[in-house]
Structure 1
Amino acid sequence: MSVQPEITQRDLRSRSREIMDAIQGGQSFTVTRDGHPIGQLVPLRRRRRFVSRQEFAAMSRTAPGIDLDRFRADQDATADAYPDDPYAR
């Protein structure tokens, strides 16, 4: 695992555009103040919005089987049949 480059609080303030562009490109940074690490800047993971039919079929083939009767029994055991009314006090 590679070590994240350190940037000072002053660098963050004066080079924010350059640093944000690097983060958008996948780079992470450790921010320091007075020589001490105080935080990390890391890129957010982007969520995929589309899964192709072929990929879904491939994932489904390796998924475990489901026993529907056991699944229903688990639901019945954990769900309240008559939830409490929070306003009935």
Structure 2
Amino acid sequence: MKTITQRELAAQSKAVLDDVEAGTVYRVTRNGNEIAEVRPIEPRRRFVPVAELQRKWQHAPQVDATRMRAEADEFYGTEDRVDDDADPWRRR
């Protein structure tokens, strides 16, 4: 981990960000006090394997759709409710 001043970061931002992209972590100081840390972010995954999703969902609680509907009706009311059999995308 490297420490640089705010002024150094401003003057050498391209070089610092190139280092960060390569994995270096910087602590930024202002008036001698550490104020920030610049570090590479974790790359976002575009694909999650099905086996991983199944492992994560294996212990998820079961959803009781009837109970959920009753709670929603109690909270929101039933005046504007769309029929369960109706196509929700059909225009009125």
Q: Tell me, in whole angstroms, the C-alpha distance in 2 between the residues paired with 1:45 and 1:56.
A: 20
Alignment identity in percent? 34
Q: Does 1:79 align with 2:76?
A: yes
* TM-score w.r.t. length of structure 1: 0.60
Aligned to 2:35: 38
SS of residue in 2 equivalent to 1:78: helix
AA aligned to 1:57 is: Q
Q: Tell me, in whole angstroms, the C-alpha distance in 2 between the residues paired with 1:46 and 1:79.
A: 40
Structure 1 unaligned regions, length at least 5: 84-89
Aligned to 2:57: 60
Q: Tell me, in whole angstroms, the C-alpha distance in 2 between the residues paired with 1:78 and 1:5.
A: 54
Q: 1:19 to 1:77 in 2, by over 3 A?
A: farther
AA aligned to 1:51 is: V
Q: Give the count of matched residue pairs.
A: 80
Structure 2 unaligned regions, length at least 5: 81-92
Q: Tell me, in whole angstroms, the C-alpha distance in 2 between the residues paired with 1:13 and 1:22.
A: 14
Rg (Cα) greater in structure: 2
AA aligned to 1:44 is: I
Q: State the shift of 1:20 in Å.
A: 0.8
